[in-house]
A = this chain, B = another copy of it.
Amino acid sequence: MDVQQKQQAASELRALLGDRVTDRADVRQAHGTGYSYHTCMPPDWVAFPQSAEEIAGIVSICSRYQLPVVPFGAGTSLEGHVLALQGGVCLDMSRMNRILEVDFANMCLRVEAGVTRNQLDAFLDGSGFFFPIGPGVNATLGGMASTRASGTNAVRYGTMKDNVLSLTVVLPNGQCIKTGSKARKSSTGYDLTRLFVGSEGTLGVLADLTLKLHPYPEAIYAAVCAFPSVEAAVNTAIKTIQNGVPIAKIELLDALLMRAVNQYAQLAYPEKPTLFLEFHGSPVEIEGQIRSVQAYAREVGGNEFSWEKEPEARLRLWQARTDAAPAVLAMVPGASLMSTDVCVPISRLAQCIVATQHDIEKNGLFAPILGHVGDGNFHLSIPVNPAIPGQFEKAKALNERLVQRALALEGTCSGEHGIGVGKLAYMAAEHQEAVGVMWAIKKALDPTNLMNPGKLLPL
């Protein structure tokens, strides 16, 4: 694009948005990266739309000038989803943070895409309902839908794909569509809601979402249990799932991570593979669940549970899990975190984790493991100090071997972080000819590749 065209585009954006579009270097810089190790790639402009109509206006201008459009939620993506690889306009959704409709009778609510998880939690507090999807950060709901996020509750409540009823989407041609409805099920046409969920902004911009709410449990108990080995802990998780115990959270922290957490928060947990558990239901139901899971744990040499039912004590107990990321960082001064995740069929989970631990040890790295083990999903947190030569490359190679290991075990290269640019190299290996179908859909909806170009789909 020549200078004159660029000025023309800028003046159209300003005419639409006034001072809600900017090319200030600091703002562009702040929008060129997520919580990730990827090099910042700032957009040419950052726009702050306030409505679906404004998004449509911006997208139309971008389409006319062939400018890339990069949606931006809270900037917490881990795989470089918000990098403006080819410049263009970043759509910062932070001003689209209204709760549009509350419908407790139908257990749903409609929010603009820029509403954050913490904002939603605060809004729902005391309502008797909650939204179960929680990544470890204060992401926006739009971002969470775009990456098909999940988190600790997914084992019971599913992921974003299971908890979005309906979407308003601005298409690359500037048209605005609604997918789905408030009806709990439907057999009427292609499932566009689930096509846009997980599409990482490559097919359109999510303007608002209708979310499924769940009744707040009558009671919540939390428990912690240490095991002699990763296998023992994972086998307890498998047995829990196979027996249909509707556990709400079942999180594995490996021995390394328990050490980090103990040091960080001055705790005295056994430095062994440990399950953090949460149970939802009536007290009678929960006690039945705890009895079952405790029995499975005992069979493989797990400790007796320490468990809590009072909210404060429960949160204190879970704090160790919540502190995982800062605890890991505190072990390696000057480092920042390379976070990665894979997901395998649950029967392969222990094998995958143990092989990964050996890999880490053999290569002299420090990389604790944290798993949503009920789903077969786990994270590796690799602190990387850029000042130490070769450390970044070593971390990347470890990540690469982890992905290959997961794929060889019939798994997937990301359970919940998404592809972005960070996992692009593995799409072909995982999906093979199906990548062609994804490209066909992309080209059908976005023929000139303006929507978050360079993400999700490998060249």
- Tell me if A359 counts as interface (CB < 8 A to partner B): no
The winner among A158, A238, A244 for most chain B CB atoms within 10 A is A244
Whether A197 and B188, one on each chain, are in contact in the complex, defined by CB atoms closer than 8 angstroms, is no
Whether B433 and A191, one on each chain, are in contact in the complex, defined by CB atoms closer than 8 angstroms, is no
- A416 in contact with B187 given A182-B345, A284-B284, A437-B192 (CB within 8 Å): yes
Q: How many Å lie between the Cα of A248 and that of B400 in the bound state?
A: 43
- Tell me if A233 counts as interface (CB < 8 A to partner B): no
Residues of A at the B interface (CB closer than 8 Å) are 103-108, 147-150, 154, 158-159, 161-162, 171, 175-179, 181-192, 194-195, 197-199, 203, 214-215, 217-218, 238, 241-244, 246, 282, 284-285, 288, 343-347, 375-377, 410-419, 423, 426-427, 430-438, 440-441, 443-445, 456-457
For this complex, 23 residue pairs linking A to B, each with C-beta atoms less than 8 Å apart, are A106-B347, A148-B185, A162-B162, A175-B433, A181-B411, A182-B410, A182-B411, A184-B343, A184-B345, A185-B343, A187-B412, A187-B416, A187-B417, A188-B423, A188-B426, A188-B431, A189-B434, A191-B197, A195-B195, A217-B244, A246-B246, A282-B288, A443-B444
In the complex, how many angstroms separate the beta carbon of A195 from the nearest chain B beta carbon? Answer: 6
In the complex formed, the residue of B with least CB distance to A199 is: B190
In the complex formed, the residue of B with least CB distance to A406 is: B183
Q: Which residues of B contact A148 (CB under 8 A)?
A: 185-187, 191
With A106-B347, A185-B343 given, name 19 new contacts (CB 8 A). Answer: A105-B347, A149-B187, A154-B185, A177-B436, A178-B432, A179-B434, A183-B411, A183-B415, A184-B376, A186-B415, A187-B412, A188-B414, A189-B431, A189-B438, A284-B284, A440-B444, A441-B441, A441-B444, A443-B444
* One of B103, B181, B284 near A412 (C-beta < 8 A): B181
Whether B456 and A189, one on each chain, are in contact in the complex, defined by CB atoms closer than 8 angstroms, is yes
- A184 in contact with B346 given A177-B432, A191-B195, A242-B215 (CB within 8 Å): yes
Q: Which residues of B contact A159 (CB under 8 A)?
A: 185
In the complex formed, the residue of B with least CB distance to A167 is: B434
Whether B437 and A445, one on each chain, are in contact in the complex, defined by CB atoms closer than 8 angstroms, is yes
Q: How many Å lie between the Cα of A435 and that of B175 in the bound state?
A: 12
Q: How many Å lie between the Cα of A105 and that of B416 in the bound state?
A: 23
Whether A187 and B418, one on each chain, are in contact in the complex, defined by CB atoms closer than 8 angstroms, is yes
Q: Which residues of B contact A423 (CB under 8 A)?
A: 188
In the complex formed, the residue of B with least CB distance to A341 is: B187
Q: Which residues of B contact A375 (CB under 8 A)?
A: 184-185
Q: How many Å lie between the Cα of A377 and that of B437 in the bound state?
A: 33
* One of B214, B288, B418 near A244 (C-beta < 8 A): B214
Whether B161 and A412, one on each chain, are in contact in the complex, defined by CB atoms closer than 8 angstroms, is no
Whether A188 and B345, one on each chain, are in contact in the complex, defined by CB atoms closer than 8 angstroms, is no
- A177 in contact with B437 given A107-B241, A194-B195, A416-B185 (CB within 8 Å): yes
- A161 in contact with B244 given A177-B433, A184-B375, A347-B103 (CB within 8 Å): no
Q: How many Å lie between the Cα of A297 and that of B4 in the bound state?
A: 71
In the complex, how many angstroms separate the beta carbon of A303 from the nearest chain B beta carbon? Answer: 25
* One of B175, B214, B430, B441 near A190 (C-beta < 8 A): B441
In the complex formed, the residue of B with least CB distance to A162 is: B162
* One of B171, B190, B217 near A195 (C-beta < 8 A): B190
Q: How many Å lie between the Cα of A376 and that of B185 in the bound state?
A: 8
Q: Which residues of B contact A183 (CB under 8 A)?
A: 343-345, 376-377, 410-412, 415
* One of B106, B191, B418 near A161 (C-beta < 8 A): B191
